[in-house]
Amino acid sequence: MSRASRSPAWSGLDRGAPAGGWVTVLQAGTVQTCRGLGGVEQGEFPDAGIDFDRANAARMYDFFLGGAHNFAVDRAHAAHVLANHPNFVYVCRANRAYLGRVVRWCVDRGIDQFLDLGSGVPTVGNVHEIAHRFNPAARVAYVDFEPVAVAHARALLAGLDTVTVTPADLRVPRTVLEAPTVTGLLDFTRPVAVLATFVLHFVSGDVAAILGRYRAALAPGSVIAISHGSDDHDDPQLVAEIRAVQDAYRGSANEGTLRTRSELLEFFTGMDLTGPGLVDITHWPQPQPDQPATGALAAVAVVP
């Protein structure tokens, strides 16, 4: 029996797929077939600095979530990922659900400013959509350096004065924190929620130091929330699935780095972990026994 088939919650996560998106045929909880959308055409982005020869993680994630902002190379590589881990679409949608819970948790605690690092291609369940549902005045600064993600985000968000899109590399915090589209929207003398979900495993090197530079710019009461792939689990099947995904991303523009629990906890040195601490994305902020583990770990911490 597959991991996802142990729980009926799969179909509940799947309900969020956009109409007309890629089709996941589920039988006994596993992906049996998938049909991608036509996607965008290369000619729509002339001279945009896009590597059309290699798949990109942001566009693949868009595909997994049912979006159309991806190229043939992305869909082909996504099919390779699903061949290695047929339940990976469940993981992606579980991560999107986790992001929604984090945003709601922040809004409930009075945080009305969000800095979304590696925000990716706009798709269902964007941060501003969730935040505005509960606080229409919430401000959201999206940051990404993938040209398709930036172009479509700008088109989607045109006319919204509480949301900005910044083309910048999260690995260089200064360029993000000093960008006019960030400084002109967010007030860093007040609490800000920094979101880095499903992106830091595509960043090699000292991620703790990178997050430390963001943390240094934050006021007390601010939040840093992450989700990150890890093979630090007791379940050998889960470990094999996660490593299979890592292997499948080799050759793409964004190869993955799996980190241990202790390495992930170093991201939050000097901060106060909330609730359950570092847990599977399906178990934040409360355990969900009916949800299969994904292998992606989540944590939310507050700046004291």
pLDDT for position 57? 73
Same domain, 157 and 274: yes
128 against 63, higher pLDDT: 128
How many CB atoms within 10 Å of residue 272? 11
Same domain, 84 and 207: no
Which residues are paired to 165 by β-bridges?
Answer: 142
pLDDT for position 28? 30
Q: How confident is the model at residue 83 (pLDDT cuts 50, 70, 90)?
A: confident
Same domain, 150 and 136: yes
193 against 1, higher pLDDT: 193
Each residue's pLDDT tens digit, 33-78:
333 334 444 444 444 456 567 777 778 778 878 877 778 888 888 8
Whichever domain contains 285, its CATH number is 3.40.50.150
* Preceding peptide of 46 cis, ω within 30°: no
Q: Name the domain boundary from 68, 89, 110.
A: 89
Q: How far apart are CA 135 and CA 50, in angstroms?
A: 36
Record the pTM. 0.81
Query: What domain range includes position 145?
Result: 91-302
Each residue's pLDDT tens digit, 15-25:
333 333 333 32
Same domain, 80 and 118: no
Number of domains in the chain: 2
The torsion angle over the Cα atoms of residues 63, 93, 18 and 1, rounded to 10 degrees, is: 90
Same domain, 195 and 221: yes
What three-state secondary structure class fits 298?
strand
Each residue's pLDDT tens digit, 262-289:
999 999 999 999 999 999 999 999 998 8
Same domain, 227 and 154: yes
Selection from 263, 255, 303 nearest residue 54 by Cα:
255
Q: Name the domain boundary from 55, 70, 89.
A: 89
Contact 92, 58 (CB under 8 A): no
Sequence-separated (6 or more) residues with CB below 8 Å from residue 95:
197, 198, 227, 281, 294, 296
Mean pLDDT value of segment 116-134: 88
Same domain, 40 and 154: no
Same domain, 174 and 249: yes
Same domain, 41 and 96: no
Same domain, 14 and 132: no
